[in-house]
Amino acid sequence: MYFEYGETELSYLRQKDKRLCAVIDRIGHIDRTVDTDLFSSVVHHIVGQQISTKAQATVWGRMQDALGEVNAETILAAGVPKLQSLGMTFRKAEYITDFADKVHTGAFDLGAVERMSDEDAIRALSALKGIGVWTAEMILLFCMQRPDIFSYDDLAIQRGLRMVYHHRKIDRKLFEKYRRRFHPYCSVTSLYLWAVAGGAIPEMRDYQPRATKGEKQ
């Protein structure tokens, strides 16, 4: 299953911004996989923190093989040592079992989160152990398919903005200007900025100044 968008969103964004219009026309439709199960999406994101996509896929595959279905009951039955043996850190295993326990006891209501506004859902998810604001935003986009997610903490989004609009730096004020421009379809914009940042248009370059020797960017 892919993130759903179509001509309504694309027509709006094309009219709002000529440069983004050119990017959309050059790249075409983007298929980005989504996981519509909120529980497994939270667990999957915790597993993937600070490791490569390949390593995340390996650990996730082991979890599916070992547990069958990844849900609160199977995770609690497995326990921290079993989860850790699948290739994740002790801390991640603790975060995942803590989340499973909260869902199992009703302390965390998945259905309620799905009905919340973006801001409230991000606040609820980021209150979980192991889930920060950026991770919560990615869950809203790639699980709940919220249409207006635009993450300032995402370095690839900032890189994409620099490349498309020739900025040397993206500060919060400039970022919010773009958020207002792309609202209410920031999620689709994010897909195209990620693609640009990943090299989808080879002639586009990053305008961020290179750090001199001994200087941090």
9-22 pLDDT, tens per residue?
Answer: 999 999 999 999 99
3-state helix, strand, coil in the chain (%, to 5): 60, 0, 35
pLDDT digits (tens, 9 = 90+) for 159-190: 999 999 999 999 999 999 999 999 999 999 99
pLDDT at 210: 83
- Same CATH fold assignment for domains 7-31+149-197 and 38-142: no
What is the mean pLDDT of the segment spanning 76-101?
Answer: 97
Rounded-to-integer distance, Cα 113 and Cα 95, Å: 19
Q: Locate tokens 């001994």: which residue?
A: 214
Domain ranges of the chain: 7-31+149-197, 38-142
- Select from 3.90.1480.20, 1.10.1670.40, 1.10.3720.10, 3.40.630.10 the CATH code of 7-31+149-197: 1.10.1670.40
Task: For domain 38-142, say whether CATH 1.10.10.60 is its number.
Answer: no
| Residue 217 pLDDT exceeds 90 | no
